[in-house]
Structure 1
């Protein structure tokens, strides 16, 4: 039996259909304007008049949530975290590690690999660090920062079963040529982040992605564009944490106007306290105090976020005035295209039925992953 949503306002990631139907089971079977709808005997029809349907969200930078952490939780805890992330509309993610000892990263690779075999929402791994700059460590533990080692990265990729899809590093403090060659051979994308790199250096590097724009990186200066200037002038995808704390709303609007919806990718950078009560938590073994919507280290630095993706989606629209179509592009489509996630990011016939349903006030009502 297939479900059929009728009379919905559908955003597929490529087009908008104001009065639409979409038929799906595990995958999308048909969609289009209501004028083309022909009911079938086995259809379970659900009238969504006044409701909005968009693709499931893809978070390519998330460390944890709901009490689970990518570095320290066990397989079942990570699987349960991905289930709970459906409550915020996330149907796919790159589970993100952080700067720790090689042994702890190796353990995380094994655990995430095992969790991915139980949870199809885990689409890969984002290795944030340990090859970053001490000057812009952010919440990455300084004493665990390491120089680039292709041997280590190859070991982690082997342990993960080839799940590493993105590596955030600082090119100014690392030998990059061997790293670039290895990542190209493995189809791993290289991101600049936690970096003091100059604009001139970045133009000489292979940079595929910019990690959490404005945070923990050389900023824009009138005599040195830095990482932020590179993000604005390049053609690569750029992450943005749209919680109003990491980046305040006027600066989100600047990023939207200068970079645009075709390159921006909303991320949460969330840690284990997302979806949990205020209190004391940890990130990379460091104590984190969570309250008033923020996660802070003892030194006052932001320690990831407790942002839910559906709130980031709403914030982007509220902060910038962008359209729902553009917000969908920044929440699903761009991520799927960048990482070549087949069947993801778009609601089109044959794609996975990863679907979010919102009311007309953009409150999330339901999320379907593979049609369930």
Structure 2
């Protein structure tokens, strides 16, 4: 029996415009029709959007945790609770992300992902795993544990990739010995190669792009800008991403990792089709301020959550974000002063394209998955739907 529902009285954000008063029909988890005005009949369960915005579900391609859990906690429940936590804030798809660790812990996390994915029916959908590290520049490690940072080892990464078909991206520093062959190997396996925690200069970034790297992980954070070596200036990764049009960039638009002027600058130069908004959220996302742990419970780094961000105990550096997807969109509109439709694109269509899932996600188009978020003028999430199923609804939001 065909399951139908329709959303009416909605301001629908499409790839081309915002329909001021529209309707959307869902059939068996997919979008069947988007139209102006009221949609009569159809024998469908009616959801009244109450004049609020209806947008594609948010896609977070870099997230470590939330709701008091981390993907490296070593259990399936953590995966499921994180997916449920971020669904409350409009995320309908996510790419679970690891931290620098021993190989054995990495392999265990990958095995947990496969089991958790099969049980994940109440939260944001998993799109595959993102391995952040351990192949980083020690000088740009940020909050990554220095005990585990090392250079790319073909025996190691080939074993890890062979162990799981669910690795969809891997972040590394391209200037390291062996990083260029590593990038080529990733691409040969259909895995997105990203640049992160790096002191590379322009020439090294250009070589990396020529050999498979295409994305700058958490742009500006833990990466080189202009440097001087023996009186000569060199462009860093930041300038390289601006110069190389083909490079995509991730933004932690929490208003803290990057202040308003930098949000505006990145948008002005790269534009909404090359920017993916990410939470980079650790376990404290969706939780009250206070002490927390970055990474695994048994071997992670103690951090302090205050001022809307996680910090190292000595407050010398940020130790991860506690942002949620709604906050990213709100900040791009309010701090970045950009149109709502562009802010939504950067957390829907653009990340869908980067991750190769645009054929089924990222826009409200007939035939695509009915991943939908309903939010008000202030980007407060009222309802989240994954493949047509409501996984979160705000109490007393007035929707039927």
Match 2:131 to one of 121, 127, 130? 127
Alignment partner of 1:172: what SS? coil
Corresponding residue number in structure 2 for 1:216: 222
Structure 1 residues 49-106: Cα deviation after superposition (integer angstroms, max 9, x where no partner): 4211100011111111111111124102211220221101001111000111111111
Check whether the contact 2:173–2:179 (CA below 8 A) recurs between aligned residues. Answer: no
CA distance in 2, matches of 1:70, 1:156: 17
Match 1:141 to one of 142, 145, 148? 145
2:360 is equivalent to residue 343 of structure 1: yes
Alignment partner of 2:348: what SS? helix
Corresponding residue number in structure 1 for 2:385: 368
Of 309-318 and 147-156, more deviation after overlay is shown by 147-156
Alignment partner of 1:367: what SS? strand
CA distance in 2, matches of 1:17, 1:140: 44
- The residue correspondences of 1:211-360 to structure 2 (distance < 5 A) are 211-220=217-226, 223-234=233-244, 235-284=246-295, 285-300=300-315, 301-341=317-357, 342-360=359-377
Alignment partner of 2:204: what SS? helix
Corresponding residue number in structure 2 for 1:94: 95
Corresponding residue number in structure 2 for 1:167: 170
Check whether the contact 1:281–1:288 (CA below 8 A) recurs between aligned residues. Answer: yes
CA distance in 2, matches of 1:85, 1:292: 20
Consecutive unaligned residues in structure 2, runs of 5 or more: 390-400
Check whether the contact 1:14–1:346 (CA below 8 A) recurs between aligned residues. Answer: no
CA distance in 2, matches of 1:367, 1:210: 29
Structure 1 residues 217-255: Cα deviation after superposition (integer angstroms, max 9, x where no partner): 001469322100011122221000011211111111111
Please give the TM-score of this superposition, normalised by the length of structure 1: 0.95
Q: More helix per residue: 1 or 2?
A: 1
CA distance in 2, matches of 1:155, 1:118: 26
Alignment partner of 1:345: what SS? coil
> Offset of 1:15 from its aligned partner?
4.0
Which runs of 4 or more aligned residues in structure 1 lie more than 4 Å from their structure 2 counterparts after TM superposition? none
CA distance in 2, matches of 1:363, 1:72: 29
2:200 is equivalent to residue 202 of structure 1: no
> Offset of 1:109 from its aligned partner?
1.1
Consecutive unaligned residues in structure 1, runs of 5 or more: none
Please give the TM-score of this superposition, normalised by the length of structure 2: 0.88
Check whether the contact 2:9–2:23 (CA below 8 A) recurs between aligned residues. Answer: yes
Alignment partner of 2:282: what SS? coil
> Offset of 1:114 from its aligned partner?
1.6
